[in-house]
Chain A
């Protein structure tokens, strides 16, 4: 297993590298100019030229690539164009905790909610409840997240002012004390995490329902019932445990999705996280930052897939890596 993991990781290096190289050229081929902001009336035409010189964009693309390559191999992602020439690594280090918080909360909510709905649907297969849950789940699953987010804001921040519309903290939250500050933060996270997790939970619920239906038809479930175990134990201990096997692998696979979902959520709820950085960087043609965010998401996808495979082997001894 360890060998397998190491092998996969080694294979991931050229893969990520290829992705970055591709990104490097694609963004430079895309229309738009990082210095375009400085091309405006009243600003000397020299400024855009001087800025390009500073960014090293006046060199031919292959020279730029060689320079970039040299820096990347030393772990230097360069400095952001659009964020006051802050080192890219710093920009990302500031944004990561926000996104990780959202992603972890979402992951937990996703699975709790998804498994619960899935189990209920399966246990009460074809009942009215099952249908309502299925339809409701599909309803939310097919809803665009950004639109859902705006609707939630209008409903629960505007019409029914229960939650804040955006931001990480209330004005002056630093005076609430550490616990108050924490609660205030959580309070600000309710809407975004709800939006993100409902969507994902609906998908997970379908998996769980399917897998659960298969499991509760197995002989050992009948045996468990015959032993006189309570229904609760039968479903939760004997049924769910086995039904969760395929679901566990979803965890790894859903990581990149949660991160990409955070993209919209962070823009809408004004969180200074990775999603915001990515979107801003693309609009500003901030090449170093675009490359760095691509690196992060590329790594996440690869690690997510690896995690899924490993988890599968861990929960199902029949699989050998």
Chain B
């Protein structure tokens, strides 16, 4: 047979797959389809010069979708970002970088003197005109602005706030923010007495009453949750609350309102022309695009399809800067640290008999100090995080300057000293080179959660470091859910994880001696002085009076090393350079997003 006469189906093999096939000339459907796709598809984007929708749309890549656009029950990161722009707050909170304290600001009053003065060009965006704290610190009274309204024109009143706080406290609704109600009157006896605790005295006055004296800072922090419109929500029963379609079509008052939401795909906000809190958002549209895969988010930032991608890994900085789009890396922080957790107690004894016994390997503070000294933390930082990592000595962030103890010198990387310490604890090299004590080998598995490149990197270095002083450490990765459950059940001897700290210091959950109550004390660490210090600090009405307690607290943790604190991470966010006016804060990447603008910025899209 003659080959030349049968070019039949050859042509449709795309030239991308193999170029070796040159004989094809037949026009077959697939080629046609291919051309149609390629040529036809390209056209929409190639309208050079003409303004496109992109010019007035800020596109933010998010890992997951929002669930409830409602401050009472919204819990995911995307939800918070979105409802924060739709619903008004009572106060504005800013992070005071000189002290590391949160500043709460009302229209005519602020807790701390404003850092840049009133002249920082920003207009106030909350509902409260002012507040006054009672002399006995058992109540706080807000005066609200009388010139603001929900988007349907109904004024925002004190009654909306009182109404919403009932929802925050309703056990059927199960708000993830019900902890904010913990000091309200009645909370000590199990149920908040809302008639007394949150009362709207008149249209613009609302008072919160506490069962005990509360510091002004905590009072402001806990009473400034966002309200939702009572007139819209009043007929929704608690049982139906989470199912209500109002969660998907929110009525708010903020600088943005919901334009369109294709679930799991994109959520578009548009600047709200009615907003007086303080004014409509600068950028016409903000689109949150859901892109679950990190590599793809990165590629989109590189090609300019999206403008903001959070949590860029340090190894990708170079590639980003070399890419076609103008991208810069900005960092905030320090709120996140990684650590190696050592079980302080024998978990089997605890889990089976509720008995406290020191862990056979990690039970002694001296051993844990030795482990910290054996681990070359600086080389993990230098090798992976570079300038975006800082040595960590405890769980109070260096950003919280008012409480951070900067007199502590980190344990040095000193394998020789580590070996000496271990020897003094009875750990001596056995025939196989691994340390032994009373016949027990110093050998364990270090667990971590799957999919974290940074921890994988650290894990390998830790394994090598420990090997050098005669400790056998196996690495094992677990799916995140499984890992977390194992931690909670105190089933792991040693693990590597991260911790994201709040801006208010409240560490008792993580170190408290009552192991049944301290849900996050995975190590089983117990030191009565730590419990005492936390309580003492909490009772101070002025944070500066609590400072000495936190200093001592950090010293003790440093000596006890319940965990090996590795490093603080500066979170790194990728920004397109066409964004102007972004101001990152430890409060979040999108902290002042309503003030951002796009360059070149164009008028409203078609």
Contact = CB atoms under 8 A, between A and B. Distances in A.
Interface string A260-278: 0000000111111000110
Contact of A113 (B12, B68, B175, B289): B12
Contact of A112 (B29, B53, B182, B291): B29
A103 to B, nearest CB: 17
Interface in B458-501: 480-482, 484-486, 488
A165 B306 CA distance: 11
Contacts of A163: 41
A283 B324 CA distance: 35
B179 interface: yes
A116 B292 contact: no
A187 B303 contact: no
A31 B5 contact: no
Interface stretch (A11-19, A35-43, A245-253, A304-312): A35-43
Contacts of A123: 1, 6
A157 interface: yes
A39 B179 CA distance: 12
Of B10, B174, B300, B606, most buried by chain A (CB within 10 Å of CB) is: B174
A54 B174 contact: yes
Of A31, A129, A232, most buried by chain B (CB within 10 Å of CB) is: A31
Contacts of B174: 38, 46-47, 50-51, 54
A172 B604 CA distance: 12
Which label, helix, strand, loop or mixed, suits the secondary structure of the A interface?
helix
Contacts of B37: 186-187, 189-190
Given A136-B18, A150-B295, A183-B43, A45 B5 contact: no
Nearest to A180: B44
B505 to A, nearest CB: 11
A166 B8 CA distance: 34
Interface in B255-278: 262-266
B44 A176 contact: yes
B519 A113 contact: no
A232 B292 contact: no
A33 B18 contact: no
A210 interface: no
B314 interface: no
A106 to B, nearest CB: 13
A113 B177 CA distance: 55
Interface in A34-83: 36-39, 41-47, 50-51, 54, 79, 82-83
B444 interface: no
A21 B45 CA distance: 49
Given A44-B178, A171-B287, A84 B172 contact: no
Contact of B57 (A85, A171, A230, A285): A171
Of A109, A170, A173, most buried by chain B (CB within 10 Å of CB) is: A170
A154 B299 contact: yes
A288 interface: no
Contacts, number: 215
Of A46, A165, A187, A285, most buried by chain B (CB within 10 Å of CB) is: A165
Contacts of B67: 82-84
Contact of B605 (A39, A50, A112, A175): A175
Given A116-B30, A136-B17, A276-B264, A167 B1 contact: no
Contacts of A285: 481
Interface stretch (B158-166, B242-250, B362-370, B382-390): B242-250
B300 A166 contact: yes
Interface in A80-118: 82-85, 94-95, 109, 112-113, 115-117
A300 interface: no
Contact of B21 (A129, A150, A171): A129
Given A41-B502, A84-B68, A132-B20, A158 B42 contact: no
A284 to B, nearest CB: 9
A43 to B, nearest CB: 5
A87 B324 CA distance: 43
A269 B18 CA distance: 24
B68 A230 contact: no
A153 B295 contact: yes
B528 interface: no
Interface in B1-34: 1-3, 5-6, 8-10, 12-14, 17-18, 20-21, 28-30
A10 to B, nearest CB: 36
Q: How large is the interface on B (under 10, 10 to 19, 20 to 34, 35 or more residues)?
A: 35 or more
B452 interface: no
B176 interface: yes
A43 B291 CA distance: 27
Given A119-B8, A231-B5, A50 B171 contact: yes
Contacts of B1: 123, 225, 231
A66 B130 CA distance: 56
B9 A119 contact: yes
B535 to A, nearest CB: 17
Contacts of A236: 8
B5 A165 contact: no
Contact of B303 (A43, A165, A168): A165
A32 B486 CA distance: 9
A162 interface: yes
Interface string B497-514: 000001000100110000
A273 B10 CA distance: 34
B502 A31 contact: no
Of B64, B264, B302, B606, most buried by chain A (CB within 10 Å of CB) is: B264
B292 A276 contact: yes
B60 to A, nearest CB: 11
A117 B13 contact: yes
Nearest to B64: A280
B584 interface: no
Contacts of B601: none
Nearest to B6: A231
B305 A37 contact: no
B1 to A, nearest CB: 5
A33 to B, nearest CB: 7
Nearest to A158: B299
A235 B9 CA distance: 11
B243 A85 contact: yes
B293 interface: yes
Given A112-B12, A136-B18, A158-B303, A167 B43 contact: no
A85 B242 contact: yes
Nearest to B59: A171
A198 interface: yes
Of A84, A189, A194, A283, most buried by chain B (CB within 10 Å of CB) is: A84
11 contacts: A150-B296, A158-B299, A165-B296, A165-B303, A166-B293, A176-B44, A230-B5, A268-B296, A269-B296, A270-B289, A270-B292
The 3 closest A-B pairs by CB, nearest first: A172-B53, A187-B41, A32-B481
Given A54-B174, A133-B21, A232-B8, 4 more contacts: A46-B171, A172-B52, A172-B53, A231-B1
